[in-house]
């Protein structure tokens, strides 16, 4: 598995968590019953927290353990190496 593939899997997991957060927030806003509403609010909060924490703290460079958060990798289709340590994104992990 290449570094690029590993990063893409974590980015997909981040978007999945964010999407689920939006889904549960939408369900939360459309439900009338207040007892179940709290549950969906909590689930949406957990999903958003998961996406935020994963994207900022768990996408790391295999060489220097520096953060490879989504904000660094937005143009990843054009990037071939990580700018701070120079690890190739096509290097095998």
CB nearer Zn ion, residue 44 or residue 68: 68
- CA neighbor of 10 nearest in space, from 46, 55, 48, 50: 55
Least spacing, CB of residue 81 vs Zn ion, in Å = 9
Residues in contact with 38: Cβ distance below 8 Å, sequence separation at least 6, in sequence order: none
Q: Rounded distance, CA 27 to CA 47, Å?
A: 13
Nearer to Zn ion, 8 or 41 (CB): 8
Nearer to Zn ion, 29 or 79 (CB): 79
> Nearest distance from residue 39's CB to Zn ion, in Å?
41
Closest distance to Zn ion from the beta carbon of 3 (Å):
9
């Amino acid at each position: 598995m290449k570094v690029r593939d590993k990063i893409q899997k974590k980015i997909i997991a981040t978007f999945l968590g964010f999407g689920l957060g939006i889904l549960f927030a939408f369900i939360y806003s459309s439900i009338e019953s207040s007892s179940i509403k709290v549950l969906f609010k909590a689930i949406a909060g957990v999903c958003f927290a998961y996406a935020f924490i994963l994207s900022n703290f768990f996408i790391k460079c295999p060489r220097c353990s520096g953060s490879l958060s989504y904000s660094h990798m937005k143009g990843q289709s054009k990037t071939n190496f990580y700018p701070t340590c120079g690890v190739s994104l096509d290097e095998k992990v």
